[in-house]
Amino acid sequence: MKLRTALPVMILGTWAVMAASAALFHLHPDAIHLDRILTPPGSQAWLGYDDLGRPIWDRLIAGAHTSFMVALWVVSISLVLGTLIGSTSGYLGGWLDHVVVRIIDIFLAFPGILLAIALAGLLGPGLDNVVLALSAVGWVGFARLARAQILSVKNREHVQAAVVLGADRRRIIARHLIPLIMAPLIVEASFGIAGTVIAEAGLSFLGLGVQPPAASWGSMIRDGTRYMLVAPHMVLIPGMTLLLVVLCVNLAGDQLRDWMDVRIRGR
């Protein structure tokens, strides 16, 4: 496997391992060491300590767990909900399709992150509310894509044969249409993970995500902004980790899209 293909997968695998290790290993992300406040990275501290004397390595792993779980839940909920809504709307058509399209247009008229901030502000801070707020915004892209794909395949011969044989609409959508459109939806989900990680970090940076003392990459960056001149590692370490994860998710999504495209794979 080429390095260009293997490197993003390796980094994403490391992210998943970090997320799992937060629950498997006995970490102490909230332990305070007053004698180590703002200690830079060194031989006795891999990544140093923050302004309260908490180990940044432990908090980085705890933040990986937070971002991974939020991305997993938000993308899963958005994928299922958006696929069901878009597929049903595209296949049935009529007034239902018109209403769904108008709702999608309304959601797309607002920047997604601003709408998520507004919903998170109304629901209140907390991890569960972050998942609800981001899911309420994230389903729109999947519904729009699913509807467009359904419109392009719903008149194929095997679908018409199922209609003639008396299959009900639910069976046609679930068995004959959704499997045909899963490839672009999976690619969309891969890019949705990157957007969710960024959105979760942004909400936590604004104080609308996970609350102290729980760790999040966004809240770690926020806490470090006050000490940029004396302890830049508090911002650089979680910031570079966030950049690396999002970049690798996007690269992996590009590679997945190319692999699923038979025209490009053939060349």
Q: What is the mean pLDDT of the chain?
A: 84
Question: Looking at the domain assignment, is residue 243 inside a domain?
Answer: yes
Q: 55 φ, ψ to 5°?
A: -70, 125
Spatial contact of 90 and 97, defined as CB atoms under 8 Å apart: yes
Which is higher by pLDDT, 125 or 150? 150
Residue 110: domain span: 40-266
**102 vs 120: CA distance, rounded Å:** 24
Is there a domain that residue 2 lies in?
A: no
pLDDT band at 249 (very low <50, low <70, confident <90, very high): confident
Instruction: Specify if 19 maps to a domain.
Output: no
Helices 127-153 and 56-92: crossing angle, nearest 10°? 40
Long-range contacts of 136-140 (CB under 8 A, 24+ apart): 137/107, 137/112, 138/74, 138/75, 138/77, 138/78, 138/82, 138/112, 138/192, 138/195, 138/196, 139/77, 139/78, 139/81, 139/82, 139/85, 140/82, 140/104, 140/107, 140/108, 140/112
Residue 67 · residue 217 · CB < 8 Å: yes
Given a cut of 60, whether residue 80 has pLDDT beyond it is yes
Is 234 within the bounds of a domain? yes
> Is there a domain that residue 90 lies in?
yes
> Tell me, what amino acid is at 71?
A
The count of structural domains within the chain is 1
Q: Say yes or no to pLDDT of 1 above 50.
A: no
Residue 35 included in any domain? no
pLDDT of residue 262: 54
167-219 pLDDT per residue, tens: 777 888 888 888 888 888 888 898 889 889 999 999 889 888 888 888 889 99
Provide the CATH number for the domain around residue 81.
Answer: 1.10.3720.10
| DSSP three-state, residue 49 | strand
Strand residue runs (E) in the chain? none
pLDDT of residue 267 exceeding 70, the answer is no
- pTM for the structure as a whole: 0.86
Give the angle 146-156-266 at the CA atoms, nearest 5°: 75
The answer to whether residue 28 sits within a structural domain is no
Q: 156 lies in a domain?
A: yes
Query: By percentage, how much of the chain surpasses pLDDT 70?
Result: 94
pLDDT digits (tens, 9 = 90+) for 2-35: 545 677 778 778 888 777 776 677 778 888 888 8
Decide if 57 contacts 18 (C-beta within 8 A): no
55 pairs with which residues across the strands? 49
